[in-house]
Chains A and B, each alone.
Chain A
Amino acid sequence: MGRQYRLERPAERSGMQRSDEELYRLMKSGDREAFGELYERRGPALRRYALHMSGSAAVAEEVSHEVFIQLMRANTNFDDKRGSLEGWMYGVARNLVRVIRRQGPVQEPVDQPARHDILGELIHEESVTALHGALRELPVLYRDAVVLCDLEEMSYEEASRAMGCPVGTVRSRLHRARGLLAAKLKRSQAVSEVAVR
């Protein structure tokens, strides 16, 4: 099977750290370091999320960049009374991925294949390829649950903040999504066995 990674959760780094919302306020008042800290904290996860959701490294890069650009704008529609900053960021990323995917297939840059083709390195195995395909075919809400809970290894509480829905909903979506994925994986394995014979 492919490589396995242990994801470092932002909360694990230090016990006393400023909240996202606090960093956002500081950033809005012109604090450069606060912006850098926010990017360090949320940037990699957002990029991974966009990569899983879109299946394209180029889209992932564009989406994660655009989320922070939107955050910088003077007329950002983020309101901490309506939800967490993390949820807002994932929401923006989700919408951007949806918009880009609706525009059609994405042209990956050909001059830097090694640099951007992270997924290409991973999906060399047939079953993983099939699973990746199955993941991309899942409805967005189910895909969201699998990406955040299983690939990003978020807790249900964290995923519920990112998805903007109750914990129970996250759990039921994940259960349903895993059922669909397991069925697709089983089908593709059966096809492979027939082909081998």
Chain B
Amino acid sequence: MNCESARLELMECARRGGKMPAGLSAHVDSCESCRIRWQAEQDLSDHLSALRIPAIPEGHEWGKAVLMREFDQRRRHLRQARWMWAVSAAAVLLLSVVVVRDIGERRGDMEPSTAVQSFTPREYPQETFTLAEEAGEKGFIKLPFALPPVPGETFGIVRTQLEPAQLVRMGVRVEPGWNGTVEADVLVGQDGLAQAVRLSNDEETSGTASQGY
């Protein structure tokens, strides 16, 4: 056994605190420097054992409490962040759906309709306004939308110019393409609403209007 390998074994023996094997012991007995080294190793092991610290240092529980609190806090923040992301993602998704749908609807509105819309004006029964007839005012046509006159109600006649749109609203059928005006007498009740209309025979119009009822 040489000194180099003996010293490695001396270190292990000193660390373990056990007895030396016979071969190593014989070498140490015969080698002065290894004997000194053995002594030094033993001294060192004794001194190092004095430097050891209690297994659980002071403040361990306090340190744990601080870290556990920190852990909880981080978990909470993480959960909040995840929740916020989820809500944001849902909001963005919802917004996208709304926007896409809106754009789709607008495109649908802008596209010219290919379907031909057939419209047949409703035919209302032609009915003369009997109260006017009885009073000697001939040719008045009762408006279909007007409320029935109240007994004893008085009427006034207003002469006015009517446009085709106004006539249509009253229920008078107008030839398409006519864009003039027609002079008409409007029978107005006490509530200020028209009850009947009579188209004038004066030809100021560029087209014709026919009484629809």
The yes or no answer to A69 lying at the interface (CB within 8 A) is: yes
- Chain B residues with CB under 8 Å of A36's CB are 64, 68
The yes or no answer to B159 lying at the interface (CB within 8 A) is: no
The yes or no answer to A2 lying at the interface (CB within 8 A) is: yes
Q: List 15 A-B contacts (CB under 8 A).
A: A6-B55, A32-B72, A35-B67, A39-B64, A44-B55, A48-B57, A51-B57, A69-B70, A115-B58, A118-B58, A131-B48, A149-B15, A150-B45, A185-B44, A186-B40
Residue pair B55, A5 in contact (C-beta under 8 Å): yes
Q: How far is the CA of A123 from the CA of B43 in the complex (A)?
A: 16
B1-36: contact bitstring with A at CB < 8 Å (1 yes, 0 no)?
Answer: 000000110010001000000000000000000000
The yes or no answer to B169 lying at the interface (CB within 8 A) is: no
Chain B residue nearest in CB terms to A7: B55
Q: How far is the CA of A74 from the CA of B81 in the complex (A)?
A: 13
Q: Which residues of A contact B (CB under 8 A)?
A: 1-8, 30, 32, 35-36, 39-40, 43-44, 47-48, 51-52, 60-61, 64-65, 68-69, 72, 74, 115-116, 118-119, 122-123, 125, 127-128, 131-132, 135, 146, 149-151, 153, 171, 174-175, 178, 181-183, 185-186
Contact of A52 among B40, B46, B51, B71 (CB under 8 A): B51
If over half of A's interface residues share one DSSP class (helix, strand or loop), that class is named, otherwise mixed; here it is helix
Residue pair B48, A127 in contact (C-beta under 8 Å): no
- Chain B residues with CB under 8 Å of A127's CB are 47
Chain A residue nearest in CB terms to B71: A35
- Contact A125/B50 with A32-B72, A35-B71, A44-B60 known, Cβ cut-off 8 Å: yes
The yes or no answer to B52 lying at the interface (CB within 8 A) is: yes
- Chain A residues with CB under 8 Å of B75's CB are 30, 32
Chain A residue nearest in CB terms to B68: A36
- Chain A residues with CB under 8 Å of B50's CB are 1-4, 122, 125, 128
Residue pair B52, A4 in contact (C-beta under 8 Å): yes
Q: How many residues of B contact A (CB 8 A)?
A: 36
Chain A residue nearest in CB terms to B37: A182
Contact of B63 among A43, A72, A150, A151 (CB under 8 A): A43
Q: How far is the CA of A135 from the CA of B44 in the complex (A)?
A: 11
Residue pair B58, A43 in contact (C-beta under 8 Å): no
The yes or no answer to B115 lying at the interface (CB within 8 A) is: no
Q: How far is the CA of A171 from the CA of B15 in the complex (A)?
A: 12
- Chain A residues with CB under 8 Å of B58's CB are 115-116, 118
- Chain B residues with CB under 8 Å of A125's CB are 50
Residue pair A8, B55 in contact (C-beta under 8 Å): yes
Nearest 3 A/B pairs, CB to CB:
A2-B50, A182-B40, A5-B52
Residue pair A43, B48 in contact (C-beta under 8 Å): no
